Amino acid sequence: MKKLNTLLPLAAALLLAGCATALPPLPSSIPTPPQFREQQRQNEHWTIAQPAEAQSRGSWWKAFNDPVLDDLAERAGANNTSIQEAAARLAQARSLVRGAQADRAPQIGVGANASRGAGANTANGAAPATLLQAGVNLSYEVDLFGRLARVRDAATLDAQSREALLQSTRLLVQAEVAQTYLALRAVDTERTLVQDTATAYADTLRLTQRRFDAGDVAELDVIRIQTELAATEAEVFALSRSRAELEHALAVLVGEPASSFALASTQGARTLPVIPAGVPGTVLARRPDVAAAQASLLAAQARVGVAQAAWFPSVSLTGAAGYASPDIGDLFKWSARAWGIGALMSVPLFDGGRREAGVQGAQAQLDTAAASYRGQVLNAFREVEDQLSALRLLQDQSQAQGRAVSAAQRASAISETRYRNGLVSQLELLDARRNELLNRRQAQRVEAAQQQATVLLIRAIGGGWETAAPSGDSKVRS
């Protein structure tokens, strides 16, 4: 009794300490600027909203007004293997949540066993005897210190992280489909430009050949134009090879074999979406990768609490009721009934530092998750700023390049006329045509870069914007 009275205060102190244990505080968050720097240049004030990864991102690719792209995005959402893999991982995480929740409920089972043996404790002394048993078992762990609750909370946060990663994978695949498709169409346009130039060179070659046959020009003029024509045709083949590779990449993204996937070449300008001013500040928080990093951080925090709870006693309640008899015919008689209840309390005293190592490991994981979360947020801001600046500068570049194309086309037309009239040499004509082709291809590449930057900005802000557009001049505040 004296020993029991000595241990009771210790047990009470441990109980109170366990109930008072709190989770470690989260590291300080990143101070968010009131607006993006690129928006300061344009006098547009964007704000940062609270995480809202559950909001709909919409079918943002439809803003490009291309039915083929719409179809490819839908097929990728249904058949892409990366999305299917992320969905399977989410299902696995949700099953772990159900398992953690089940650990907090009473465990009930039925069982039966038969044994035969001999010994001093058997009914017939040393003679062999048979014992038959059947009954119901009940066990329940009393979660006095919240260990099981924190395990469940951590599993729930892991599932939320997996769900956000599924959204992130879906957004990534949609963006890759759009980028690859737009790149393929840009190659189609550029290849058409080069083919048109090759056709013009072929016409010039026929004219030069006639003039050579008539003795008006030297053979060198024919060789020069033949060289230009062959080099231009070689560029057409190189562009065709690039198109084939992009087409094969699209096949993988939509989950189809490259051997049976084909897209016909089409021409025509595609709509370049314009993101309304002020919207990205309200939707940046929907980025699923940021939401996943935040959920992982909270899960790591909960696991620190699980590791800390290992220092405190665990209390389990058990019970059993059934029948026991040496004869199977008497097994279920009332006189053969048997039952028992029990309680087990386990108090850890010494484990060689295992629990302390567990706490330190959980804290290290928390620090890792915090650094990852901060890095994810910083990267989100960088990506938005990158694409905003890219779109602004590409717009200026497009206007300047348009002027260059107009001037090059005029110079090429004048040189063509002067060459046919014998006023300039062939070298001047070829130089003018090369310059025109160079500028037209550069203008097309600037347009393609604008499309790619638009897709990347949509991805950076977490998807579409039509569901979150502010009304009037109202601003969303964090």
Q: Is the pLDDT of residue 269 over 70?
A: no
State residue 86's pLDDT score.
83
- CA–CA separation, 354 and 367 (whole Å): 20
**For 234-242, which contacts have Cβ atoms below 8 Å and span 24 or more sequence positions?**
235/194, 236/191, 236/194, 236/195, 236/198, 239/187, 239/190, 239/191, 239/194, 240/191, 242/187
Q: Is the pLDDT of residue 404 over 90?
A: yes
- 9: Cβ–Cβ under 8 A, 6 or more apart, which residues? none
pLDDT confidence bin for 389, thresholds 50/70/90: confident
Choice between 332 and 91, residue whose per-residue pLDDT is larger:
91
State residue 177's pLDDT score.
92
Looking at residues 304-313, what average pLDDT do you find? 72
Instruction: Look at residue 472 and give its three-state secondary structure.
Output: coil
Looking at residues 7-14, what average pLDDT do you find? 42
State residue 142's pLDDT score.
62
- CA–CA separation, 148 and 315 (whole Å): 12
- CA–CA separation, 445 and 130 (whole Å): 88
Domains and CATH numbers, the chain: 28-104+143-311+354-460 (1.20.1600.10)
Closest CA to 82 of 170, 162, 180, 163: 170
- CA–CA separation, 18 and 144 (whole Å): 8
- CA–CA separation, 201 and 204 (whole Å): 5
Q: Is the pLDDT of residue 34 over 50?
A: no
- Alpha carbon 113 to chain centroid, angstroms: 52
Sheet hosting strand 129-142, strand order edge to edge: 107-117, 129-142, 314-325, 337-346
State residue 181's pLDDT score.
92
pLDDT tens string 100-136: 777 667 777 777 777 766 655 555 556 677 766 666 7
State residue 219's pLDDT score.
87
| Structure-token pair, residue 178 | 């759009």
Choice between 475 and 303, residue whose per-residue pLDDT is larger:
303
State residue 9's pLDDT score.
44
Residue with structure tokens 């405190």?
312
pLDDT tens string 348-369: 777 777 778 878 888 888 888 8
Q: Is the pLDDT of residue 239 over 80?
A: yes
Give me the DSSP letters along 140-207: EEE-TTSHHHHHHHHHHHHHHHHHHHHHHHHHHHHHHHHHHHHHHHHHHHHHHHHHHHHHHHHHHHHH
Percent of the chain scored above 70 by pLDDT? 68
State residue 150's pLDDT score.
72
pLDDT confidence bin for 60, thresholds 50/70/90: confident
Q: Is the pLDDT of residue 330 over 70?
A: no
Q: Is the pLDDT of residue 36 over 50?
A: no
pLDDT confidence bin for 64, thresholds 50/70/90: confident
| Structure-token pair, residue 216 | 């008006």
- 131: Cβ–Cβ under 8 A, 6 or more apart, which residues? 114, 115, 116, 324, 325, 326
Looking at residues 300-306, what average pLDDT do you find? 78
- CA–CA separation, 63 and 177 (whole Å): 14
pLDDT tens string 441-474: 899 899 989 988 888 888 887 776 554 443 333 3
pLDDT tens string 390-401: 888 998 999 999
In the predicted model, what is the mean pLDDT of the chain? 75
State residue 383's pLDDT score.
82
State residue 42's pLDDT score.
45
